[in-house]
Amino acid sequence: MSLPFKVDSSVLIPRPETEVLVEKIIERFQGSERDLVGVDIGTGSGCIAVSLCHYLPNLRMYATDLSLPALRTAQTNARDLGLAERITFFRSELYSGFGFHKISQGTIDFIVSNPPYIPRAEIKALMKDVLREPRQALDGGNDGLEFYRRLIPGAPFYLKTGGILAL
């Protein structure tokens, strides 16, 4: 997305597929004149939330992760790119922290996530550089779909009418 991001051992290295996800959300909401609210679940380095705020000036983001070190990395990236005031970072397992941050029913324009999707049995066969990345961010359970099965059912509760879940 033409932005410099810092990564460390607490986060995945952003890949081209992540850019495609961000581009699709930008295409969908670019030109909207109203204020937008988005959520990035499993933010990692923050590259999705930060990029979206960079390209959508009327966007306010919530970015969640289970990993406190990952959240610190994401906050650093947001701060370094001058976008920290528009992104609220907090620790959450899927939707568990939403109530504390007053994210309520029907208030979100989009939920985005690049979740773990690699089947557990295939992780050992990954390239060595990928194996240095956090296992929690790679391991999608027995069939690679565990995170999706837990994420998808809760999304309609938080999305506005016409909102989207982008994975």
Which pLDDT tens digit goes with each residue over 65-85? 999 999 999 999 999 999 999
Answer whether 117's CB lies under 8 Å from 12's CB.
Answer: no
Q: How far is CA 84 from CA 89, 147, 153, in A?
A: 9, 27, 30
What is the spatial distance between Cα 98 and Cα 154, in angstroms, rounded to a whole number?
Answer: 11
Q: Residue 144 has what pLDDT?
A: 78
Q: Residue 130 has what pLDDT?
A: 66
Q: What pTM does this model have? A: 0.89
Residues in the chain with pLDDT < 70? Answer: 116-119, 127, 129-135, 137-140
Amino acid at 42: G
Q: Residue 146 has what pLDDT?
A: 83
Q: In the numeric block, which tokens belong to residue 157?
A: 């509760």
For 34-166, give the CATH class.
alpha beta
What is the spatial distance between Cα 35 and Cα 63, in angstroms, rounded to a whole number?
Answer: 17
